[in-house]
A and B are shown apart, each in its own frame.
Chain A
Amino acid sequence: MALVLRQAFLIASKDTRIFFKDRFAMAFAFLFPFIFIVGWSAALSGQGPRDEPLDITLVTQEEEGISLSVIEELSQSVYASVSTRPYDDALAALQDGEIDGFVVFPADFTQKIVSGASTSLGVVVNDDNPDAEAALSGFAQEVAGRFTEAQIAFRAAADLAAQPQGELQAEPPDRTSAEFDSDTAPTVGLVLERVGDVVPFRASNFTLPAYLTMFVFFSAALSAEAIARERQNQTLERLMSNGTRRESIVLGKFIGTAYRSAAQLVVMWLAGILLFDIYLGTAPVAVIAISVLMALASAAFGVLLASFVRSVQAAGSAGVLTSLVLAPIGGCWWPLFIAPQWMQSLAKLTPHGWANGGFNKLMLFGAEAGEVTQELGALVAFAAAFLAIALWRFRTAAQ
């Protein structure tokens, strides 16, 4: 085993030196993905949600009452910018395009609430602005929902209290719902829950890991060409007649390709952090873990490919073909979460899909490390399976 490891590391070291002397290989490994990432990040910039506070204009037609309390409480929120205007001012601002819409508390709002009667909040928007309508309607429904819950609770309490003694062990009511006035009405607040860190959307948070995945696998697949060339010019045969084990060759090629993949990862992640200000999520260690396992899986994939091809030309074609097929299936060209379910299922057949799934979870959806254990396990399984098959192929094909 010590001999196999020694020989494997010598082969890996030699391959790495050759790689750093090959300008085209260097350009392909580092420059091409960089160009793709810059291009697609620029093309996708301006897409997606912004991290901007919600502007809400509220109008109340009450002189005093619950609506004023609600408005005051909402004004304290850091997640929404709340302003109030008289109805006519708000309408004029809407028509001038100054605001997108507003929510109206009617003049009898408090009276209806305390008497348990139905009331409604108004939402005023332009017809051609469905986004504003959706946002303000959602807001109004949230507020209305809270009041409805409070009303139901009060009615239930009042009904229970009105029951004859002996039927229910309850104290007699001292007040009924009709007796509530604005001063004693329950405080109703709008709760905005914060889920994970609020992060501005950056296209590079998708494009960098996606194209990195694509090019790490692409470079590894093309390493099959180098292995086929060594087989053709008999350096592998010379090594074997020199006392080198087949296991050493497979392992050495695997380690050498993994070295190069790791170099790609380091350079591209550093570029991403320094130049694109990418966000690594709440668990950057998990991002690193997925990157490392992806490098190992890609290296094993390259060796596997080499074990199946017989010529340099076949290796080149197989490398390009498999990379260009697996990259889109695996979510390197577009995010998997916008793809149909059948495509998301298909992606799970590729290591690219698992790697991208993990990156997206961590970098776009704020997942914790524990939420990507499946992705980590899948990448380990792919690497082990690819390497085992490659080893078996090299052993059986040799004779």
Chain B
Amino acid sequence: MADTEFLVAHGLRKAFGPFQAVDSVSFTISQREIFGLLGPNGAGKTTVIRMMSTVLKPDDGHISIGGFSVTADSDSVRKLIGVCPQELALYPELSATDNLVFFGRMAGLNGRQARESARENLERVGLQDRARDRVEQFSGGMKRRVNIAIALMSRPQLLFLDEPTVGIDPQSRNHIFETVENLRDEGMTVLYTTHYMEEADRLCDRLAIMDHGSIIGLGTPRELKSEIGNPDRVTLEDVFLEYTGRRLRD
């Protein structure tokens, strides 16, 4: 893991009316790091990603990515990032290739570059044989992989993956893990949110646990486990429940 800070978030705040969605969030992500953002539903993870991906303006605080301010130089930031949202943000009526080419061209690639990048990324997520099929004919896991491939079209340096493995089979999930690890090995920085603790334990170099809009735990998985017991016996789920409580959430 390199030490260079690629993303710096400081004092982030965001409210929607009276609801304080994000409150004084600060963390950094180093280059080639997989950083996990964990938290129960409504903790503010997605709002943090939306602010970092230039879609939402923070009410307060500062974010820089690759040295560029997200608010002051959003165009430069957009060239560095790829976003894989929680929803399947794609066009089911179009083929996998057409989806990737469209988003690639919208990101500024020309037609030839977009087709080449689409071929590479479909191969990366293991869908090269289904490139011409309509996405609506795909299984849930395959759609999730297309969703990730789209985020890779602009060859980003920082990839946001917002719960990329929700509702898919173990094979597809494992394929996604391998893809993310490969991307990290190739030099990409990843911000990864998930509800699955074993995923975070396997993939993430460092983690932040969020609840009620704030970060309540930050460190490597082992450091976090050490805070509540023997790191070889405590699971990340124990840590999560210790921090966020056992009370049921909506």
B partners with A: yes
Task: Confirm or deny: B90 has a beta carbon within 8 angstroms of a beta carbon on chain A.
Answer: yes
Report whether B81 and A241 are in contact in the complex, using a CB–CB cutoff of 8 Å: yes
Binary interface profile of B, 83-94, with partner A (CB < 8 Å = 1, else 0)?
A: 101111111011
Interface size of A as a range: 20 to 34
Q: Which residue from A7, A235, A237, A240 sits with its C-beta under 8 Å from B91?
A: A235
Chain B residues with CB under 8 A of A18: 91, 93-94
Chain A residues with CB under 8 A of B81: 241
Task: Confirm or deny: B57 has a beta carbon within 8 angstroms of a beta carbon on chain A.
Answer: yes
Report whether B106 and A242 are in contact in the complex, using a CB–CB cutoff of 8 Å: yes
Interface size of B as a range: 20 to 34
Decide yes or no: A17 and B86 within 8 Å by CB, A7-B106, A242-B107 being known contacts.
no
Report whether A233 and B93 are in contact in the complex, using a CB–CB cutoff of 8 Å: no
Report whether B105 and A10 are in contact in the complex, using a CB–CB cutoff of 8 Å: yes
Chain A residues with CB under 8 A of B105: 10
Contacts of A231-248 to chain B: CB distance below 8 A: 232-235, 237-244
Report whether B90 and A240 are in contact in the complex, using a CB–CB cutoff of 8 Å: no
The CA-CA distance from A21 to B92 in the complex, in Å, is: 11
Report whether B89 and A243 are in contact in the complex, using a CB–CB cutoff of 8 Å: no
Chain B residues with CB under 8 A of A10: 102, 105-106
Report whether A243 and B85 are in contact in the complex, using a CB–CB cutoff of 8 Å: no
The CA-CA distance from A238 to B93 in the complex, in Å, is: 17
Nearest-neighbour CB distance to chain B for A230, whole angstroms, equals: 9
Q: Which residue from B54, B85, B88, B94 sits with its C-beta under 8 Å from A14?
A: B94
Nearest-neighbour CB distance to chain B for A382, whole angstroms, equals: 30
Report whether B93 and A241 are in contact in the complex, using a CB–CB cutoff of 8 Å: no
Report whether A242 and B83 are in contact in the complex, using a CB–CB cutoff of 8 Å: yes
Task: Confirm or deny: B194 has a beta carbon within 8 angstroms of a beta carbon on chain A.
Answer: no
Report whether B154 and A242 are in contact in the complex, using a CB–CB cutoff of 8 Å: yes
Chain A residues with CB under 8 A of B154: 242-243
Q: List 30 A-B contacts (CB under 8 A).
A: A7-B106, A10-B102, A10-B105, A10-B106, A14-B91, A14-B98, A14-B102, A17-B98, A18-B93, A18-B94, A21-B94, A21-B134, A22-B93, A233-B87, A234-B85, A237-B50, A237-B55, A239-B106, A241-B53, A241-B54, A241-B55, A241-B81, A242-B103, A242-B106, A242-B107, A243-B78, A243-B106, A243-B108, A243-B154, A244-B106
- Beyond the given A17-B94, A238-B150, could you list 18 further A-B residue pairs with CB under 8 A, ordered by the A residue number? A10-B106, A18-B93, A21-B93, A235-B89, A235-B90, A235-B91, A237-B89, A238-B103, A239-B106, A241-B54, A241-B81, A242-B83, A243-B75, A243-B78, A243-B107, A243-B108, A244-B106, A399-B57
